[in-house]
Every structure is written in structure tokens, then in C-alpha cells.
Structure 1
Amino acid sequence: MYTITSDEIRTIFLEYFQKHNHKKIAESSVIPENDPTLLFINSGMAPLKNYFTGEEVPPASNLCNIQPCIRTIDIDEIGDRHHLTSFEMLGSWSFNNYFKEDAIKLAFELLTEGLKIPKEKLYATVFMGSKELNLEPDTESIEIWQKAGMDRSHIVPQPFEDNFWGPTAETGPCGPCTEVFYDTGEEYGEAYTEGGEFDTRKRYIEIWNAGVFMQLNKMSDGTYEPLKFKSVDTGAGLERLTMTLNKLNSVYEIDSLRPIVDIIKNQCTSLSPESDIPESKINILSDHLRTVTILLAAGAVPGNAGRGYIPRKLIRKCCTILAKYKVDNFNYKEVINKIIEHYNKYYGHFEKNRNQIFSVFNKEVEGYSAVLEEGTARIEKMCGGLTAISGKDAFVLVTSYGLPFDFIQEYAAEHGMTIDKEEYDNEIKHHKEISKIGLNEEGGNGSSLPALKGLAENFAKTGFTGYEELSCKAHIIGIIKDNAEAELAAANEQAIIITDKSCFYAESGGQIADTGTISAGNMQLEVTDVKKAEEVFFHFAKVISGEVRVDQAVDMIVDSERRTKIEANHSAVHLLQKALRIYLGESVKQAGSLVTDDRLRFDFQCDKKLEADVLDLIEATVNEYIRRDYVREVQETSYEQAVKEGALAFFSNKYSDVVRMVSFGEVSKELCGGTHIASTGKIGFCKIISEESAGRGIRRIVALTGSEAVRYVQEEIKLLNEIAAKLKTGKKQILSKLDTLGTKKEQPEEAAFTVMTKEQTAKSTLQSSKGTAYITREYPAMTDEVRDEAIRVAELIRGVVCFYSIVDDKVQITIAIDKELSKSCNANGVIKSALAYLDGKGGGSAYLARGSGNNAGGLKDMLEGFKTLF
């Protein structure tokens, strides 16, 4: 029986502060709105930051509420007695009204009188100051606590790390704080003595941050300045407070969590009686499933990065635990239903989004369960009969098959095997280094983003004039060759050129960079790419003639025909997004895009394949917008005003205080820094050529515009005419003719997979002009065995491997490169060059990449020129 329930604590808290002139406000979503500094709402004050800085006026001087929070920093500590990833924060605030004295008095009165805690069980910590940061100790709070009724020996000065709160991001409101701890008794450790260590993990449990005294603003240079006014922020974790007041050993024993724990424990016991799953793992499952339910109810979508990474990580961790302890057919629905039942008493969106929660959750579990099943089979295949798992094999299992390293470790322990952890760590380190390099077509030369950011510090920001003009006069302020600044570059040399201003658009926001020329007299540069870092534009160029020098006055001219095609495709992306939202609903959100001069690609959040008739409607709508010839309008305004006017803004972390709003009539209004066509009519025509999956929950549309779209349609019609001629029928009768002929073909028996012998390897190996060994070989199908064989052979010959197959005129390719060689020869770059011959797409890591293309006719040319691709 509980001494006090969490519901009773809620009521006591809210009624107490409302009685003391605090206005109760609604909670905010755990997914921040227009706050790129936070992954999730991690405290009660996080949604109220603008009230503390004075940027917004609060609805009252004093506020209170109960706010759901997510703290990912504690994920690795989950399973102990009091850490949680998700929790509810009891919060009260005062803005430019009362300060330390009233805040401490209110806290002490609520704890001792409202919640009936004996004052001898309470301890308070205060800020001891920091000489390094020039911050004074908070002696005032010590005096106020004593005045309120706390014994001086129960007041503990603590350092900056413990008793200085905030800001919630790198900059913002912050200040010293005073926290309240509950003494859980001598069974959890020795009592605190003045001047000794204050144990905040076992015996003394924090139950309240009784006052963050917001009086400072941390600046970007690390210094602190006074805020315009002083405020108070308090917070108490409901779950931890419930545990403490009921004298429970663990937060997982409280009334809101115990039912979840019991369901999970009962299922594990009945489904796998021999599993003997530890209590800590039951706690992890309880916490993670609860947190995932909260995130999915708020609209989070599992993914590989950003906010989507957390629900994906938590779900996969749960699946891995259950797989390890052989708990099959676990009923997640029973657990999630119990969580929804609890939270729906306070937050209505849980029941409203019930179907969405289960739909997203089930898809994620199904997908990862398949990964675990395949990965387990792969471990058995790779490591069967061995006594050790090499670090390289573990690395392949993690990076290629998605298995968690912990899972591999546990498998090894169960089977009496060891893992070369040092070798695995080295492989991971090397992989990260390769990933950071990001070599481009110029072979790197300081063009990776980190390198460019470092170089940008040496130059003034580039003035961009490319919205208004496609040519301009400028001065060269920097030349970079071979990763170092230079004074000049001569004919036939590659160089990076920095100018004081530029009309060239730098690659950004999914739009590729402009190309063109830079010239002065007999000097001419061909600009092949433009990148930017810290608002400095880096023009990648080849010197065609003459010499280019620092301080030289030059003429810059953008390839206007190519720019127009890019602009047409970019504007078509905006029209396509509008059409998608009409037919699929306004929940459609952009997940990425690529705009080039020959096509456009648009990724969006959607869980199902689009039917052909829906695609036809979307395409027809886009072309209707084109025919209406809406004129482009551009307006610079504030982010808040743009959103208020209905502008779409899916990447709020990319916008500055002043944003650029691009509109086409009333059909499209988006925040966008890219360049656009003058009016939609100039796009001419848009043709969707494919719609496919681009990842879990993401669909991808590829389309053409203008002359490229016309050419595509003409080729399709030509092909249709040729088919009709061969069938000796009209185009409209092709399908009925095929029905009479029958379309089923006997499938050739697939040849058995064979491993290449050393003799076959030797005979197949050639030497390129650069002395690098490589092999090209055809297989009936591109299976996992072929992929593994490619990796093996690449290591064997210490070179490059290209295995390919042709199925139904579609070419599939696997490129593998020896690990050591991959430091200088990137498989991801090789396959992109190879797929250019095949009109294909693909990618991968530095040593293994895969892809496919529809132009089988280009295979011969690709193979003949393969040695030039690396």
C-alpha cells in the first residue's frame, strides 16, 4: 500500500502553487517547437525560455504546471534505482517578481507541511562559487534556508557542476541553484558530516530543485552577463518524489511504473521460464517502452539521425534484450496499452494517436527483428567452429548487418568465444576517420566540411549577389592549393578560389552549386563546384589559361542556361510538395531533396507506396500549377512572421533571424535560401519518372522538367511504338496482345554460388596504370554470399573488386576495396563513377558499396573504363 500516490502528489503540488498566486498552464509537447538547440524538452522551463530572456511576455508573473520530459543523457544509466529517460516535472516559475527568499520559503513549506516530510530528513545544497568563471558563492541562500527552519549542518555548499544550472543549450539564461535532498537512511550509507563528501547517489536522493535563480545570461564566448530581470525556476521529478515519499527502494516500484514492470516480468517468465532475466533488464524495458510510447504519441518518427534516432535506439535495445534472453512472441501491445491508459488520464493525445503509435512501433520492431534474425544467422555462418571473433568480423556484423556490438559480445560469451575488442575499436576509429574525410571529385584538397570551416577563419564572409545577377566583378582574396594558401595558380592547376563577393550559388539546401567562369585578361578559370562554410564561398576551379593571383580583379560569370534548369527543378520541388500535401494530407513533411540541372529528387515522410493513379493526380496538379504561370515573389521577414503567414518550414534549425520566403501565388509559400525560376510557366513541363522507398518511413520521387521531361516522354513513346511494331498491333492493343501471347517465362536455374580459388583470382587479376590490382566478375545474382566474397577477395588481392549481375536488363554492382587501400581509394566514390555509365544510384562505406542501374547497355563501357575510376 502506498503512503501517498503520484496522483495525490500532483494534486497537492498544483493546488499549493495555485493557492499562492501561480497560474496553471498547459504542458508542451516533448518535441520542441522552433527550438533547434534541443533534441527534446528536457525540463519544465525549456518551453518557457523566451519568458526568462524577455523575448516574450508570460501569461502571468507566476506560473506552474506538470511537464513531460525526455533526458537522453541518462540512457546508459537506466536500470538502477532512480534514473529514467522519461519523467514528469513538477514546475513553478516567477518572472521578474519574487526571488530567492520567497522561492525557498515556498519550497520548504510545501515539503514539510504540504507533503508532510520531517524537516530533519531534508538537506539543501547551494552554489559554492567559481573563481575560474568569476562567479560569487551563494551565501544568501544559506541564510534564507536557516531562516526557513533548516539546520545549518544540513546545508551543503556544492561546486559549479552540481549547483549551477543551465543554460539548456550552449548559450542562454542560467544561474546558481539550490536543491533539496531526502535522507533515505543509514542502510544506504554513512551520514553526511559538515565538510565531508555529500553522497547524492545512494543515501541522499535529490527530490527538488527548489530554485534555479535565473540572473545571468551565458554568452557565446563563455562569459556571463546579467539578465534584464531576475526569475525563479523550480522543478521536481514526480517519479523520484513518489519513490522517496513512499520509502521505496526503486523508482520502478511506484504506482505509475509498477504495473508496466509487472506486465513485462510476467510475460518474460511465461514466455521463457528458463531465461532468468535480471531485474535491471526488466527496468530498462519498462523505461524504454514508456519513453518510446511518449515520443510516438508526440509524433516522433524513428530514423537514423536527429530526433528519430532516440526512439529507434530504444526500440532496438528492447528487441535485443528480449532476443538475448530468448523471450519470443513478446506482446508489446499489452505493455503499450497500459502506458497509454495511464497517460491518457492527463494528456488526451495518447488515445487520439493510439493507432499511429502501434503502426509506427510495429513496423520498427518487424524491421529490426528481421535484422536480428539475419544477423544471428550471419554470426553462426561467419564464426561457426571458431573460438574467437576477430575485430574485423565484429565490425562487419555491426556496420553491414546492423547488429549491436553488445549482442555480438553476449553471443560470444554464450558460446565460449572471445572478441578482439582492440581490433574492433581500431576498425571503428578508422571508419569514423574515413567518414569525416568525405572526399569529393577533386580528391579532397581541403574540401571536406571540417577542413573548409578551418580555412574559412582566414577570410572575410563572401557577399552573395547571385539572387539578383548572374555576373559580377570581384576581387580574389585567397587561393588554396594542396591544402595550403598560395599566392598564385598557373595554367592546368587545380585551385580553390575565394573572392570578396560572388554570383555563384554554393551547394546548399539540396541545390547543387553553379558552374561557370572566372576571368581577367588572358587568365581564365573554369569553376566546377562551389561550397561554403561560415558564409565563405570556396570556388573549385581549374586554371584554363594564364595565371590567377591574390588581389586580382576578375569577372565572374555563371553558366546561365544550367542555372535556369536548376531553378526550374527547384521551383518544381515546391510545387510537388504542395501537390503531395493535397493528396496525402498535411502530415507530409520534407525529409530531403536534391536539385540538379537534369532532374529533381524529393524525399518525404510516408509509410506506404503511392499508387499509380495517385501519382498521376499529383503530376497533373503540378503541371496545372505550371500552366497557371504563377510569378515568383520573394520576401525577407522574421521566422515567426513567415510561419504566421503560412510558410512551410520543416528545418527550423537552419533558419536565421531573417528568413527568405519564396511564394508562387497562393499555392506555394516556403522558407528557402535557394534560387528559383521567375514564374512557374518557365518550368514548361514536369514528369515523374519514379517513386520508391528511400528508407523506413521515407518515400522518394524523382522527376524531370523542361526539355529533359520532353525527351523522356518522347523516348517512352518511341519504345512503345517499337513494341507495338514487333507485336504487329496498335499501341492501345499492346496489353491485350500480350495477354494472348502469355507473359510467363521459365526462369533459368540459378547457378550455385562458388568461392573464387587462388588460381581464378590470379588469372582474373590485372594491373592498372597506377599499379593497383583489380578484378571484375559476373555472377547470376547479387546475393549476400557475393557481397561477402567481394570483401574477401579485395583483402586477398589487396586491391579493388567489382562483382556484377544482370537481371531483367537491370545491372547490380558490388564494389569492395581492401581496408588499407580504402584510405586513399573510396568505394563510395568508385561506385558513383561506375553507376554514371548505368544511369544508376547507390552508395556505401569506404571499403564496401552497392548499387544498381537500368542502363545495361552501358555495362561494356563501364567495364572497359573501370581502371580509370579509381
Structure 2
Amino acid sequence: MNVDQTVSTFLDFFRERGHQRITGSSLLPPSGDSVLFTTSGMHPLTPYLEGRPHPLGRRLVNLQRCLRTTDLDEVGDRTHLTVFEMLGSWSLGDYDHQQSIQWGYELLRDGFGLRPDRLYVTVFGGDEQVGPDTESLRTWGELGVPVELTGEDNWWSNGPTGPCGPDSEIFVWTGDGPPQGTPTSDQRWVEVWNHVRMRYHRHENGSLEPLPQSGIDTGMGLERLLTILQDKPSIFETDVFQPWMTTIPPLWSTDESSLRVIVDHLRSSIVVIGDGVMPSTTGRGYVLRRLIRRVLTTLWRDDSSRLLSDLPRELIGHTLEHFRQPSEVGQVREVLLDEERRFSTLLRRGRQVLTREGFSGKLRQEDYDYLHQTHGLPRDLVVGLLMDAPPSSGGGVPPIEGHGDRVVLS
């Protein structure tokens, strides 16, 4: 299945079972939410999972774009992305977890054509507060799917407080030959879908209080699912990334890990800008700035003449269209180029300042404070520039290379 067929198969399956599709587009969370970006499909639905009636009813389905900064350092492997899309379904006090599991199994087997003997599930085995999830154990047993019990790995929450509960994580075998081991013992088992029994509210003191209504929250990463349905070794080889992976390598030759970072961060930056965020020194704008500057340091590590102006406008347009964003290609491109100019100017100023007497040895905290307050050079940038200076330079700082990624990730 291609990406459009995969999405329609999921949405149609649940709509045929009485679910209403809700709008799940923007990366920006609802007003009043303390987080910077929407991190999961359930995030905008938190009040309804806690009992507020939803205007579209008690059975919902959607496709939500998400952003997770917690996975930023993992980008470059075969499964992690900064911006991704999440397929989700919900029961707001309607059907139970048994029904959710049965439908999930049916969709994976009949809708997506996954072989049952290549499935494995992990289930919450209990802790000092809540006992084992016997309902899920019994249901999966009736379906003939093997189960592995775990602890906190199968307890889902969206933060230290708020709605939470035990979950069932569904894994698919991606290795060659017959399945081996279990999801916790063999990485060839890849998680594709999470079914959560949203039963409790966790308070600041760690105590659990039953929710007024028990709900179901499921989430399945679209890009990860595509790697399995399209039999690809990584997310970056699915049809979603095909335009990027055929255009960028001839444009900027680099190693595979760096290529994935460049593609992911540029694509994510376009989506963030498309949702109305501008680079800045705080909040959402700072996340965007980090993404763009990591792209630049990765590009310039091999060739300082590379420019974002070389990026074809068609790639920007393709990304905005895929994520259903109305932003103009030219406006998004100008934001990227403006941030490139700002970062280039900052690097030049940083090199000039650090060649002055007094910055050739080990810097003290007051030195970092002075460089930041007087010259606008943040500590991580100074550290990255100093690390790139050869011992014989007497403190002089050449163009950034080698450890350039530290500039924006420290």
C-alpha cells in the first residue's frame, strides 16, 4: 500500500464502525496547553478523555501530525523522526478494551494483510499501585497472539500528571526467517500500534484516581507502519520520503546518517513554519531554530559553500501539500534563507570574538556569561567553535567542521 491507501484503509475501517473523523492537523496544541507542540494524537483530546462530552460523539478517528523533541538525538536511525503522523482511534466511555483489541487485530490482519504469526504483544504486568491487565491478557490469548508481560513500558501517560492507564503494544516481526525471541529481547520486533486503557488520572503526588469514564486511546505511527507494509528497511525508503531521498543525495553528497538528519530536519522545519512558527530564542521558535541550524552545521561540515537556496522549491511544495498546509512556498523558503543568513553571521562574529586575547585557554563561567550577554554567543555555540580550533591555532577558530553538530545540540 502507498501512503494514501494506508491512511484511507485505517480511516474507513473505523468510520464503518461508527467513528467520526476529527480535525487533527496543527502541530500547535490547544490554547492553554503547557507543551510546545502536539506530541500525540490524544494530546488535543485530553479534556474529553477526562470526561467532557465531545461535540462529534464518543467514537472518534483521525490523522494527527506530531512533533517530539525527545527523539531528536535518535534521528538518523531507521525508525525515528522529528515530525511524523499518527493514526488514532478513541472510545470516550463507549466500547471497552476488548473490543478495541479485537478491531485492531482485525484491521492488521484483514485490512493491512499482516500475518498473525508475525505479531507479538506486550501487556502491563502490574506494579505496586495497579494489578496486571488481565482483560488484555485474556483477549489476546483468545486471538492466539503471544504476549509478553512488562512493567512501566506498558503504562501510558502524556506527562507526569493527567490521564493514564495500562496499554497493549502490538509488534510486528521484521526479521528474515521465522520470528524469534520477544519484543524486549529482539529489536527485529517493531512496535506499530498502541492500545491504551485510559482509566486513571495521576495527581502531582503520584496517586491514581479512577476517571469518571473509562476510555480507549490508540495510536499508530504512519511512517513506521509504511516501512512494514512496503517492506522497507527504514522509514526514509518509504514513498513518503521518495521525493526527498531522490533529490537531496545528488545535491549534497554525504553519509547515510547525515542524509537522514538533513532530510528529517529540513522537512520538519518546513512543517513547523507551515503551522505559523518563526525562528526565535525561546519556545517553539527555538526548537525550529535548532532544527535549521543542525541542518546547516551538518551540511557545512563537509562543504561550507552549500546553501539552502539550492533546495528545490518543489520539495517545499510537496511537503506543504502532504501535510495539508496552505502556506506559500516562497514564504517558507524565505524563513529558511533568513535563518541561514543569521546563523552564518553569528558564526563569523563568534570566530572573530574568540580569536581575541583571553579566550585561548579554558573559559570560566563568567567568560561564557560575557560572550552571551555582550556578543549574543550562547554557550553551546562557543563550545562548538572552540572544539573545532586546532591546538596550534593559539585560540584562532577555523570554519566549523568535525564537531559542528554540537553547536546546536549541546
Match of 1:215 among 180, 183, 199: 199
Between 1:33-42 and 1:93-102, the stretch displaced more is: 33-42
Query: Structure 1: 5+ residue runs without aligned partners?
Result: 270-276, 419-870
The CA deviation at 1:64 is: 0.6
Query: Structure 1 residues 382 and 236 mapped into 2: Cα distance closer, same or farther (>3 Å)?
Result: farther
The CA deviation at 1:115 is: 0.6
Match of 1:171 among 157, 161, 169: 161
Q: Distance in 2 between matches of 1:324 and 1:378?
A: 21
Match of 2:237 among 214, 232, 253: 253
Please list the CA deviations of residues 578-597 of structure 1 after superposition, one character each: whole Å capped at 9, or x if unmatched. Answer: xxxxxxxxxxxxxxxxxxxx
Please list the CA deviations of residues 352-400 of structure 1 after superposition, one character each: whole Å capped at 9, or x if unmatched. Answer: 343432333222221111112333445566699x8xx634499489744
Q: Distance in 2 between matches of 1:103 and 1:281?
A: 40
Please list the CA deviations of residues 455-492 of structure 1 after superposition, one character each: whole Å capped at 9, or x if unmatched. Answer: xxxxxxxxxxxxxxxxxxxxxxxxxxxxxxxxxxxxxx
2:275 counterpart residue number: 298
2:212 counterpart residue number: 228
1:225 partner letter: E
Q: Distance in 1 between matches of 2:208 and 2:156?
A: 13
2:405 counterpart residue number: none
**Superposition map of 1:11-90 within 5 A:** 11-90=8-87
**Superposition map of 1:347-366 within 5 A:** 347=324, 350-366=325-341
C-alpha contact (below 8 Å) 1:27/1:66 kept by paired residues:
yes
Please list the CA deviations of residues 769-824 of structure 1 after superposition, one character each: whole Å capped at 9, or x if unmatched. Answer: xxxxxxxxxxxxxxxxxxxxxxxxxxxxxxxxxxxxxxxxxxxxxxxxxxxxxxxx
Query: Structure 1 residues 142 and 416 mapped into 2: Cα distance closer, same or farther (>3 Å)?
Result: farther
1:315 counterpart residue number: 292
Match of 2:184 among 198, 213, 229: 198
Query: Structure 1 residues 373 and 115 mapped into 2: Cα distance closer, same or farther (>3 Å)?
Result: same
The CA deviation at 1:317 is: 1.2
- Taking structure 2 as the reference length, what is the TM-score of the superposition? 0.86
C-alpha contact (below 8 Å) 2:170/2:193 kept by paired residues:
yes
Query: Structure 1 residues 49 and 332 mapped into 2: Cα distance closer, same or farther (>3 Å)?
Result: farther
Please list the CA deviations of residues 109-130 of structure 1 after superposition, one character each: whole Å capped at 9, or x if unmatched. Answer: 1111111111111111111111
Query: Sequence identity, in percent?
Result: 32
Query: Structure 1 residues 164 and 77 mapped into 2: Cα distance closer, same or farther (>3 Å)?
Result: same
The CA deviation at 1:247 is: 2.4
1:144 partner letter: T
The CA deviation at 1:264 is: 2.4
Please list the CA deviations of residues 700-750 of structure 1 after superposition, one character each: whole Å capped at 9, or x if unmatched. Answer: xxxxxxxxxxxxxxxxxxxxxxxxxxxxxxxxxxxxxxxxxxxxxxxxxxx
2:12 partner letter: E
Q: Distance in 1 between matches of 2:196 and 2:105?
A: 15
Please list the CA deviations of residues 584-628 of structure 1 after superposition, one character each: whole Å capped at 9, or x if unmatched. Answer: xxxxxxxxxxxxxxxxxxxxxxxxxxxxxxxxxxxxxxxxxxxxx
**Superposition map of 1:222-621 within 5 A:** 222-269=206-253, 277-332=254-309, 334=311, 337-345=314-322, 347=324, 350-379=325-354, 390-392=362-364, 395=368, 399=372, 400=375, 401-402=377-378, 404=381, 407-408=384-385, 411-412=388-389
What's the secondary structure of 1:256's corresponding residue?
Answer: helix
Q: Distance in 1 between matches of 2:98 and 2:43?
A: 23
1:312 partner letter: R
What's the secondary structure of 1:404's corresponding residue?
Answer: helix
Q: Distance in 2 between matches of 1:22 and 1:15?
A: 9
Query: Structure 2: 5+ residue runs without aligned partners?
Result: 396-410
The CA deviation at 1:263 is: 2.4
The CA deviation at 1:289 is: 1.0
C-alpha contact (below 8 Å) 2:90/2:217 kept by paired residues:
yes
Q: Distance in 2 between matches of 1:99 and 1:198?
A: 27
Alignment partner of 1:6 is 2:35: no
Q: Distance in 2 between matches of 1:213 and 1:332?
A: 48
Which structure has greater strand proportion? Answer: 1
The CA deviation at 1:409 is: 6.3
Alignment partner of 1:142 is 2:137: yes
Please list the CA deviations of residues 71-114 of structure 1 after superposition, one character each: whole Å capped at 9, or x if unmatched. Answer: 11111111111111110000111111111111000110111111
Q: Distance in 1 between matches of 2:192 and 2:386?
A: 37
Q: Distance in 1 between matches of 2:393 and 2:101?
A: 58
Which structure has greater helix proportion? Answer: 2
2:147 counterpart residue number: 155
C-alpha contact (below 8 Å) 1:297/1:354 kept by paired residues:
no
Query: Structure 1 residues 415 and 51 mapped into 2: Cα distance closer, same or farther (>3 Å)?
Result: farther
What's the secondary structure of 1:205's corresponding residue?
Answer: strand
Greater relative CO, 1 or 2 (CA 8 Å, sep 6+): 2
C-alpha contact (below 8 Å) 1:128/1:137 kept by paired residues:
yes
Q: Distance in 2 between matches of 1:36 and 1:118?
A: 40
The CA deviation at 1:67 is: 0.4
1:177 partner letter: D
Match of 2:90 among 90, 93, 115: 93
Number of residues paired by the alignment? 390
Alignment partner of 1:180 is 2:177: no
Please list the CA deviations of residues 385-420 of structure 1 after superposition, one character each: whole Å capped at 9, or x if unmatched. Answer: x8xx634499489744346367436624798999xx
C-alpha contact (below 8 Å) 1:62/1:94 kept by paired residues:
yes
C-alpha contact (below 8 Å) 2:11/2:21 kept by paired residues:
yes
C-alpha contact (below 8 Å) 1:289/1:336 kept by paired residues:
no
Q: Distance in 1 between matches of 2:363 and 2:36?
A: 33
C-alpha contact (below 8 Å) 2:173/2:179 kept by paired residues:
no
1:148 partner letter: L
Q: Distance in 2 between matches of 1:343 and 1:415?
A: 48
C-alpha contact (below 8 Å) 2:316/2:329 kept by paired residues:
no
1:733 counterpart residue number: none
RMSD between aligned alpha carbons?
A: 2.9
- Taking structure 1 as the reference length, what is the TM-score of the superposition? 0.42
The CA deviation at 1:313 is: 1.0
Q: Distance in 2 between matches of 1:69 and 1:121?
A: 28
Q: Distance in 1 between matches of 2:319 and 2:309?
A: 16
The structure having more radius of gyration, on CA atoms, is 1
What's the secondary structure of 1:344's corresponding residue?
Answer: helix
Q: Distance in 2 between matches of 1:33 and 1:198?
A: 35
What's the secondary structure of 2:299's corresponding residue?
Answer: helix
Q: Distance in 1 between matches of 2:41 and 2:71?
A: 17
C-alpha contact (below 8 Å) 1:96/1:231 kept by paired residues:
yes
C-alpha contact (below 8 Å) 1:28/1:67 kept by paired residues:
yes
Please list the CA deviations of residues 27-50 of structure 1 after superposition, one character each: whole Å capped at 9, or x if unmatched. Answer: 241111213322110000111111
